[in-house]
Amino acid sequence: MAAAATPNSMLLHRASPKAAPSARVPARAARIRCQAVAAPAAPSPLAAAGERGVYNFAAGPATLPLSVLQRAQAELVNYRGSGMSIMEMSHRGKEFDAAIKKAEADLRALLAVPDTHEVLFLQGGATTQFAAAPLNLCASPSDPADFVVSGSWSDKAFKEAGKYSAAAVAWSGKAAKYTSLPADFGALAQNPGARFLHICSNETIHGVEFKDYPEPRNEAGLLVADMSSNFCSKPVDVSRFGLIYAGAQKNVGPSGVTIAIVRKDLVGRAQPITPVMLDYKTHADNASLYNTPPCFAIYICGLVFEDLLAQGGLAEVEKKNQHKAGILYDAIDASGGYFVCPVDKPVRSLMNVPFTLAKGADYEKQFIAEAAKEGMLQLKGHRSVGGVRASIYNAMPLSGVEKLVAFMKDFQARNP
């Protein structure tokens, strides 16, 4: 039986054009004429559609700006008149040299990165930085380091750092199922002798985000942040951090490149056991070109940085993100408990919105399946926590969030 239409269901569908009735044509003797014609050029799927027809709510790799994909598509075979794709040209040639330098310059402009900090384009994902950070910032494995464990990723960082430092937990949100952050940063159990204090600025799985940052009380005053899932989503005072690192595949590019912003005076102090590819000095001394870098991924990042600058910079981007997240959280909170976000309101993420359905896991599966049929993809929560998760990074258009909210209201009306 067809489901009853609801006011919100009307927003989810466009009327399909009706096929014209076929007319009867009197039979005629067949006449065949052969004429050579040029085959029509295949239209670009992106250009023809204008929009892609779906909204990708994946946590990463994640949606990229359509304009960036279209520009990359146009330049793919013949990069700016070079006769080569950027994927096949030398990373030491003038074309890629210009591309990586432009990407760094635009990132510095976006985040107002001071001259006191290096910008490095690395590989291995943020997970590799869980080891690289203590290897570069601790003189020996016996040096202490403090960690705020606010979710799965900061917990992984803490455990990995324990191999290369005397890592300790300054605060943990595990007892509250990672739905909160410290209410009082002054209450963090920091060790004055620690080499750094580490945080994850936005927990992708659990949806908690730092709105401000704790002051490190260690002697060096070093604050380290994994910013993978909210990197370039808002302005950040980079001068407050000794090290920022981020996998690009959430907000600024495809998978394959990791960005590190590290204070220059911290470079060159790596432990003797540090592998050459994890030593920040290796990459700082070679302008991120010690070995072949992920050229195409860096190029895409550069296009994204240009796009963010064209939007007016990160202050404007943050306003858009606040608006999108506000619409979604308001819909959850106004559902009368039908949809539930477990995260404390003051620390709800603008990037990753986890929620559950009060009616249970079966209805969550139905919700995700029906949403996919409506062109809203990758809404399944992380396998470790279940539920639903909508990742609404910079490139998620407002229309995507509005369609999701309309679907949520429609689903609730059809499944009271």
Q: Is residue 36 part of a domain?
A: no
Question: What CATH number did the domain enclosing 155 receive?
Answer: 3.40.640.10
End-of-domain residue from the set 255, 287, 311: 311
Whether residues 61 and 74 fall in one domain: no
Q: In Å, what is the CA distance from 12 to each residue of 5, 79, 355, 391, 403?
A: 11, 39, 21, 20, 7
Q: Is residue 199 part of a domain?
A: yes
The total number of structural domains in the chain stands at: 2
Q: Which residues are catalytic?
A: 153, 226, 250
Residue 285: predicted pLDDT: 98
Per-residue pLDDT reduced to its tens digit, 145-158: 999 999 999 999 99
Whether residues 303 and 354 fall in one domain: no
> What is the β-pairing status of strands 202-203 and 258-263?
unpaired
Whether residues 176 and 290 fall in one domain: yes
Long-range contacts of 79-85 (CB under 8 A, 24+ apart): none
Per-residue pLDDT reduced to its tens digit, 258-306: 999 999 999 999 999 999 999 999 999 999 999 999 999 999 999 999 9
Distant-in-sequence, close-in-space partners of 255: CB < 8 Å, separation ≥ 6:
60, 61, 125, 247, 248, 249, 297
Q: Is residue 37 part of a domain?
A: no
Residue 3: predicted pLDDT: 53
Strands of the sheet with 339-340, listed across from one edge: 339-340, 352-357, 388-391
Q: Of 59, 43, 80, 54, nearest to 351 (Cα)?
A: 59
Low-confidence ranges of the chain (pLDDT < 50): 1-2, 14-50
Whether residues 302 and 342 fall in one domain: no
Are 398 and 320 within 8 A, CB to CB?
yes
End-of-domain residue from the set 290, 311, 332: 311
Whether residues 106 and 83 fall in one domain: yes
Q: Which domain holds residue 392?
A: 55-66+313-414
Q: Is residue 154 part of a domain?
A: yes
Grouping H, G, I as helix, E, B as strand and the rest as coil, residue 103 is helix
Question: What CATH number did the domain enclosing 322 receive?
Answer: 3.90.1150.10
Whether residues 122 and 253 fall in one domain: yes
What length does the chain have?
416
CA pair distance 107, 3, nearest whole angstrom? 49
Whether residues 61 and 99 fall in one domain: no
Distant-in-sequence, close-in-space partners of 156: CB < 8 Å, separation ≥ 6:
127, 130
Whether residues 250 and 319 fall in one domain: no
Are 96 and 295 within 8 A, CB to CB?
yes
CA pair distance 186, 168, nearest whole angstrom? 17
Q: Is residue 206 part of a domain?
A: yes
Q: Amino acid identity, residue 384?
A: S
> What is the β-pairing status of strands 144-149 and 197-200?
parallel
Per-residue pLDDT reduced to its tens digit, 82-103: 999 999 999 999 999 999 999 9
pTM of the model: 0.89
